[in-house]
Amino acid sequence: MRLVLFLTLLLASTPFFSQSDDEKQIKAIYDKALTDGQAYEWLDYLSNQIGGRLSGSVQAQQAVEYTKGQLDSLGLDRVWLQPVMVPKWVRGLPEFAYMETKPGLTTNMPICALGGSVATPDGGLKANIVEVQGIEDLQKLGKDKIAGKIVFYNRPMDPTLISTFASYSGCVDQRYSGAAEAAKYGALGVIVRSMNLRSDDYPHTGSMSYGDTPVSQRIPAAAISTNGADLLSTTLKLNPNIKFYFKQNCKQYEDVQSYNVIGEIKGSTYPNEVMVVGGHLDSWDLGDGSHDDGAGCVQSMDVLRLLKKTGYKPKRTIRVVLFMNEENGLRGGNKYAEVALSKNENHVFALESDSGGFTPRGFSLDCSDENFDQIQSWKSLFEPYLIHLFVKGFSGADIGPMKNPDIVLAGLVPDSQRYFDHHHAENDTFEHVNKRELELGAASMASLVYLMDKYGIIPASKIKG
Amino acid sequence: MRLVLFLTLLLASTPFFSQSDDEKQIKAIYDKALTDGQAYEWLDYLSNQIGGRLSGSVQAQQAVEYTKGQLDSLGLDRVWLQPVMVPKWVRGLPEFAYMETKPGLTTNMPICALGGSVATPDGGLKANIVEVQGIEDLQKLGKDKIAGKIVFYNRPMDPTLISTFASYSGCVDQRYSGAAEAAKYGALGVIVRSMNLRSDDYPHTGSMSYGDTPVSQRIPAAAISTNGADLLSTTLKLNPNIKFYFKQNCKQYEDVQSYNVIGEIKGSTYPNEVMVVGGHLDSWDLGDGSHDDGAGCVQSMDVLRLLKKTGYKPKRTIRVVLFMNEENGLRGGNKYAEVALSKNENHVFALESDSGGFTPRGFSLDCSDENFDQIQSWKSLFEPYLIHLFVKGFSGADIGPMKNPDIVLAGLVPDSQRYFDHHHAENDTFEHVNKRELELGAASMASLVYLMDKYGIIPASKIKG
């Protein structure tokens, strides 16, 4: 009776033979990842032996050398460094802030400089503060109410959106363009509520841009923790005349030499069709960059290793690319696409993992409807691994520059609930990555790469013709 | 152009009007949970002001009083305590273990008594140790190789299973019955590898039973951390003659009075049809029981609150039940079912949350095919909240005793990857619960209760007739 049931289930789940092969290969990948994965060990080294890997830093260079060495040891067909010049911005600790509710009566505030910000004057910056809920408020207030003050951007992330990345998108303009916009109204500096849904004491850094603001008119910008922002806002309601002081010593240096780290397995049948899997090797400097994006790097490295270890011989060339300088410049992603174009390389697929090392939920796909349909048809292969989400959308910053009508771009979508608790903050650290969750992500990526390699993409020419 | 797209999407997602009502109500529930949920605050109190809530302890009684008070404040139609006698087992610290590789050369080992175990002799227990991979090994070894020794059960959880609960099921017999079985072969005590997939230093307790072993023949049983188990196993391979020492002072007292905590909203149309949502209020004593099962309790409490706050008036009677003594006796679950039966109450649905406060992934359903199909037909309503998993399977220990051919039993299925890192161990604590993940679970539960209440169940009589 139980055998009959077993056979029925077996038949029900194997509608045709080739799918059964796919099921076996994917099971082999997951089994290997969960019993003999390398990602967690690599991440331990990157995070705990090297640490934060800001572009242009000694640690970023150490990470280049370490990951190249590890790729060398995997027996790939080729491993190399791709030179790229990157910006070098340095925080220059200490940084420090307080609010002064009466002369001499101060409360320290947890802040950190935004990446790319200028320093405050040597003695720090002290001024009245004006709270806004976004850039659009500046015009309403006008120069009268802004000039000579510090602008405090306090629009919180929307907690009702299920994807925290959607909440992030709705707020991040304050961080990215807030200083440039406030400078137009004569503000002396900006303080931005951290992009974090949780109430805590960590300020979260991140990139900002002065756009075309002349150097002489650039004003310093810092993030404040969510608890700090709430306290500041409450205090301002009681007394709009309080002063805010902050001091930061950050500095932009000349560009320095750095590298994308690349390894590849040559395709057996279509060596000129290239598939990329990657993450970015640089990180912010406050934590050790475990989730952003150490996780994506070690997962991508393990994709090639898992395919090899399970005995799979790819028909197409599969490359792992560890991009440099995603956080404050995207120089690595741009350089990789530029070189690929100049060499006339035919990239058919690229998959990035840059949303944290949490339990994988699915993939976000930037491709034609036909390719999307083909990938959707593999859904049932992923269901046993609780990968349910196949949606059209953003893939990844580093692979974006490769976009063309033919290529299929994809991003791993891990569970997003905890991501912004750690993103760009001091608590983006190794102990917040769960080994199995990281490994499940690597296995999910390797499985998609396997299927893309086996079945190929549907080129635009074929669709139109 | 964008408006056209928007309208198309809108129409595509609203096939008929009544579903749109459901979409609105479910959206209202999620919005409320994520912006004004109460679960996290309640859990903070339960975990940080009360702490571990072992049956029969002062803390368990404090938790009864606290949660009853909180339910009283919600304006439900009725809140009451249901008396139930519970076992009182006390750990009796300190507990202590070491392995002795040579006389006088010892290494401390992280252990904890299993719940229900007897104490060691006053001076502790010291003996040679024999490692097995499960109960089935005992017969192979026989009395000769077991008598006078400590049996060390070291079968690890299977890492290749995607649901960690499945891995747990494959191992937990060692913990539950290991001592009773080893005693039959003359063992003096048992040490069991912690039910944890991670390599760490926390021993994980949990219930064990002596079955019909006479009191005089009961042997002490303890869990050892996974790192401890690995070290012990390696050391045994080098030297099978090492000795293991452990001392524990646990004690079983007479049963004591305790309570299930119950609150209800009376149904407007079918007040005699009862729907239960619940978790268990007791926990083990090592951590503060945040995931197991403080989370399930506060989520269940918030289900009733969320339904009220969103203005939903249930047609059926909806009860929150905080069961006492799931961990070491199931007395609360049994008592609740017994009273319901004696009062001839018609329970149509019960939903338990007892798998941690992690991101919800779906529901496990123990019901007829017809009811399963009806619930599956609501899948698209849950998709925007990334709830994808609707499977037949185990619902919950506390609601199990209510099983009958008519009732629909359900269990919330959260992401399981991190659960056994914390389960029954010192690190099952509040800081490992993410506020949004907890709230999403409460909202998912409230949404299912709403749909079950609105559409009702399909009774067995209707199916057969």
Q: Is A3 on the interface with B (CB under 8 A)?
A: no
From A35, A162, A359, residue closest to B159, measured CB to CB = A35
Distance from CA of A322 to the nearest CA of B (A): 27
Q: How far apart are CA B28 and CA B270, in angstroms?
A: 24
Q: How far apart are CA B51 and CA B284, in angstroms?
A: 10
Interchain pair B417, A197: CB under 8 A = no
DSSP code of residue B104: T
pLDDT computed for residue B456 by the predictor: 96
Q: How far apart are CA A66 and CA B301, in angstroms?
A: 51
* Residue B140 neighbours by CB under 8 Å, 6+ apart: none
DSSP code of residue B400: G
Mutate which: A417, A430, A444, vs B, most B CBs within 10 A: A417
pLDDT tens by residue, B298-323: 999 999 999 999 999 999 999 999 99
Cβ proximity of A191 and A244 under 8 Å: yes
Query: Which parts of A255-312 fold into alpha helices (H)?
Result: 295-309
Mutate which: B9, B415, B431, vs A, most A CBs within 10 A: B415
Q: Is B440 on the interface with A (CB under 8 A)?
A: yes
How is the beta sheet containing B221-224 ordered, strand by strand? B105-108, B96-102, B243-247, B125-132, B150-153, B189-193, B221-224, B111-113
Distance from CA of A436 to the nearest CA of B (A): 7
Q: How many CB atoms lie within 10 A of CB B192?
A: 29
pLDDT tens by residue, B268-280: 999 999 999 999 9
Q: How wide is the angle at C-alpha A333 spanned by C-alphas A290 and A42, nearest 5°?
A: 30
Contacts of B389 in chain A (CB under 8 A): 386, 388
Interchain pair B421, A440: CB under 8 A = no
Residues β-bridged to residue B265: B318
Contacts of A421 in chain B (CB under 8 A): 434
Nearest to A179 by CA among A171, A168, A188, A170: A188
Distance from CA of B149 to the nearest CA of A (A): 32
| B345 flagged as catalytic | no
Q: Which residues of A271-289 are buried (b: 16+ CB within 10 A; e: fewer)?
A: eebbbbbbbbbbbbbbbbb
Interchain pair A160, B388: CB under 8 A = no
% of chain B beyond a pLDDT of 90 = 94
Q: Which tokens is B360 given?
A: 């919800």
Distance from CA of A141 to the nearest CA of B (A): 29
From B162, B197, B437, residue closest to A386, measured CB to CB = B162
Q: Which residue of A has its CA nearest to B159?
A: A34
Catalytic residue among B95, B131, B326, B352: B326
- The ranges of chain A with pLDDT < 70 are 1-19, 464-465
Q: Is B435 on the interface with A (CB under 8 A)?
A: yes
pLDDT computed for residue A461 by the predictor: 83
Q: Is A5 on the interface with B (CB under 8 A)?
A: no
Q: Which tokens is B265 given?
A: 């909203």
pLDDT computed for residue B1 by the predictor: 34
Cβ proximity of A428 and A287 under 8 Å: yes
Contacts of B418 in chain A (CB under 8 A): 434, 437
- A 180-199: CB under 8 A from B: 197-198
From A30, A386, A434, residue closest to B418, measured CB to CB = A434
pLDDT computed for residue A7 by the predictor: 39
Q: Is B374 on the interface with A (CB under 8 A)?
A: no
Q: Which residue of A has its CA nearest to B388?
A: A388
Q: Which residue of A has its CA nearest to B358?
A: A417
In the predicted structure, residue B157 carries a pLDDT above the cut 60: yes
HSE-CB for B207 with a 13 A CA cutoff:
14
Q: Is B386 on the interface with A (CB under 8 A)?
A: yes
Residues B439, B443, B449, B452: is their CA dihedral positive or negative? negative
Q: Which residue of B has its CA nearest to A435?
A: B198
Q: How far apart are CA A163 and CA B48, in angstroms?
A: 29
Q: Is B359 on the interface with A (CB under 8 A)?
A: yes
Distance from CA of A159 to the nearest CA of B (A): 6
Helix axes B435-455, B295-309, angle to 10 degrees: 60
Q: How far apart are CA B160 and CA B158, in angstroms?
A: 6
- A 119-158: CB under 8 A from B: none
Q: Which tokens is A373 given?
A: 């349909």
| Residue A226: burial class (beta carbons within 10 Å; 0-12, 13-18, 19+) | buried
From A159, A164, A384, residue closest to B162, measured CB to CB = A384
From A160, A359, A384, residue closest to B34, measured CB to CB = A160
In the predicted structure, residue B3 carries a pLDDT above the cut 50: no
Q: Which residue of B has its CA nearest to A390?
A: B386
Nearest to B290 by CA among B358, B362, B198: B358
Q: Which residue of B has its CA nearest to A33?
A: B160
pLDDT computed for residue A19 by the predictor: 61
- A 21-40: CB under 8 A from B: 30-31, 34-35
In the predicted structure, residue B2 carries a pLDDT above the cut 50: no
Distance from CA of A437 to the nearest CA of B (A): 7
pLDDT computed for residue A18 by the predictor: 57
Domains of chain A: 16-88+254-460 (3.40.630.10), 92-249 (3.50.30.30)
Interchain pair A386, B440: CB under 8 A = no
Interchain pair A160, B415: CB under 8 A = no
Helix (H/G/I), strand (E/B), else coil: B87: strand
Cβ proximity of A347 and A274 under 8 Å: yes
Q: How far apart are CA B428 and CA B181, in angstroms?
A: 29
Q: Which tokens is A191 given?
A: 């303080």
pLDDT tens by residue, B202-220: 999 999 999 999 999 999 9
Q: Which residue of A has its CA nearest to B437?
A: A417
From A159, A388, A421, residue closest to B34, measured CB to CB = A159
Interchain pair B160, A437: CB under 8 A = no
In the predicted structure, residue B261 carries a pLDDT above the cut 60: yes
Residues β-bridged to residue A316: A270
pLDDT tens by residue, A135-184: 999 999 999 999 999 999 999 999 999 999 999 999 999 999 999 999 99
Mutate which: B24, B386, B389, vs A, most A CBs within 10 A: B386
> Which band of pLDDT confidence, cut at 50, 70 and 90, is reported for residue B19?
low
Distance from CA of B26 to the nearest CA of A (A): 12
Q: How far apart are CA B34 and CA B32, in angstroms?
A: 6
* Residue A40 neighbours by CB under 8 Å, 6+ apart: A298, A433, A435, A438, A439
Interchain pair B437, A421: CB under 8 A = no
In the predicted structure, residue B8 carries a pLDDT above the cut 90: no
Q: Is B354 on the interface with A (CB under 8 A)?
A: no
Q: How far apart are CA A430 and CA B49, in angstroms?
A: 29
Cβ proximity of B353 and B323 under 8 Å: no
Interchain pair B384, A160: CB under 8 A = no
From B31, B162, B198, residue closest to A435, measured CB to CB = B198
From B34, B160, B388, residue closest to A34, measured CB to CB = B160
Contacts of B30 in chain A (CB under 8 A): 160, 162
Helix (H/G/I), strand (E/B), else coil: A48: helix
Number of residues that this document lists for chain B: 465
pLDDT computed for residue B464 by the predictor: 61
DSSP code of residue A292: I
